[in-house]
Structures are given as structure tokens and as C-alpha cells.
């Protein structure tokens, strides 16, 4: 969000942090402000964001460390389950974007500060939050919105001094033609 990439409502939406290119880190205070440290804190954050929400482990993936929660009384148990699946991972809570598509922008960036969006994929066909089918090129987003998604991916890569092939993942709401940052995969993925 500090790089200007749209983010969905989440418990760390108030956090602004500068990425240190020399050390490759964010300030520890930013992690602490953006992480959920207890079931009580999770309940407070979820109530503030509004239901339904997703409780996610930052280091989760492949369907692990993620729970959909519809009501306040289910938050503590879901929080504990996420913590148990990915021990030691920072935990955060985000608003559930219902009916959204999972769109990805592939990019290349070099050590001189150049970055370019190559193309993308629609990875919306999933089972248990694990991609099953990836379709390209993605056609769900309006062309002008897809251009904004590519521009945001390039801006993010430049903001952190990224140098490699990578993928910026978004949730795309067809209902209101908006997109929200999910993650940057800083590696060459098998799918590439």
C-alpha cells in the first residue's frame, strides 16, 4: 500500500512503511503494527473490518493457513487454526472479496530499476485455495483496468528494487471493476 497499489480493507490498512533497499527489509514496527498477535486482537480487527473476513498466515500457501470467517464468535477458533497450520507466521485479517477473480500479472525487472509487465493469467479455478487451472491471457478485467493492474505491478517492482521474473497477484472484483493486491511472488514459478 505504501507503493500506491490498491489493497482491500485489512487490519494493517493504517500502516505506512518505507522499504529499505539496502537491507531488503521493512521496519520491524511495521510488521508488529500489521500483525495480529492474539485471538482477542483478531476478534477486534475482524469486527472493525466487517464480515465476512479471511484470516491468513503471511507465510501460508497452497491452501494452508487461511480461514474464511462469517461471524464474530468463530474468529478465535479460526485464528488458532491458522496459527497452528503455519507456526510462527505473522497473521493478518482481510475483508473477503466475494465473487472475485484471481488475476496475476507476470513481470520482469532488472537491477537497473527497469520493470515491464509481460502478460497475465486468470487463476480463478481453484480448489481449497489452490490453483487448478491457469488461463491466459486474462479477459475478466476491463482492458483499462488490466492496464492499471500492469502499471501497479511495475510500480511495486520498482518501489522495492525487485530484480527477477515474478508474479503480482490480485483479486479482481468484476462487480465494481476494482482490483486489490494479494502478493508478489519473488521467484520464477513453475507455471512460468
- The model's pLDDT over 144-189, given as tens digits with 9 standing for 90+, comes to 999 999 999 999 999 888 999 999 989 999 999 999 998 888 765 5
Neighbours of 157 (CB within 10 A): 27
pLDDT tier, 109 (very low <50, low <70, confident <90, very high otherwise): very high
Which of 58-67, 94-103, 124-133, 150-159 ranks highest by mean pLDDT? 150-159
pLDDT tier, 130 (very low <50, low <70, confident <90, very high otherwise): low
pLDDT of amino acid 187: 63
- 48: pLDDT strictly greater than 70: yes
pLDDT in tens, 86-104: 999 999 999 998 888 889 9
The residues annotated as belonging to the active site are: 187
Cα(187)–Cα(58) distance, integer angstroms: 16
- On average, the pLDDT of the chain sits at 88
Q: Are 19 and 57 in contact (CB under 8 A)?
A: no
Amino acid at each position: 500500500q505504501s507503493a500506491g497499489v490498491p489493497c482491500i480493507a485489512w487490519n494493517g490498512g493504517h500502516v505506512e512503511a518505507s522499504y529499505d533497499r539496502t537491507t531488503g527489509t521493512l521496519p520491524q514496527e511495521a510488521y508488529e503494527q500489521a500483525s495480529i498477535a492474539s485471538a482477542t486482537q483478531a476478534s477486534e480487527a475482524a469486527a472493525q473490518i466487517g464480515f465476512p473476513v479471511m484470516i491468513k498466515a503471511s507465510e501460508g500457501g497452497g491452501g494452508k493457513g487461511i480461514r474464511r470467517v462469517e461471524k464474530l464468535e468463530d474468529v478465535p477458533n479460526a485464528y488458532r487454526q491458522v496459527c497452528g497450520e503455519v507456526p510462527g507466521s505473522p497473521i493478518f485479517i482481510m475483508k473477503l472479496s466475494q465473487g472475485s477473480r484471481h488475476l496475476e500479472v507476470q513481470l520482469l525487472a532488472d537491477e537497473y530499476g527497469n520493470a515491464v509487465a509481460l502478460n497475465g493469467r486468470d487463476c480463478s479455478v481453484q480448489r481449497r485455495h489452490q490453483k487448478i487451472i491457469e488461463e491466459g491471457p486474462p479477459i475478466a478485467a476491463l482492458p483499462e483496468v488490466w492496464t492499471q493492474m500492469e502499471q501497479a505491478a511495475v510500480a511495486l517492482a520498482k518501489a522495492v528494487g525487485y530484480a527477477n521474473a515474478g508474479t503480482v497477484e490480485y483479486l479482481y472484483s468484476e462487480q465494481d471493476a476494482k482490483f486489490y493486491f494479494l502478493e508478489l511472488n519473488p521467484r520464477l514459478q513453475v507455471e512460468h
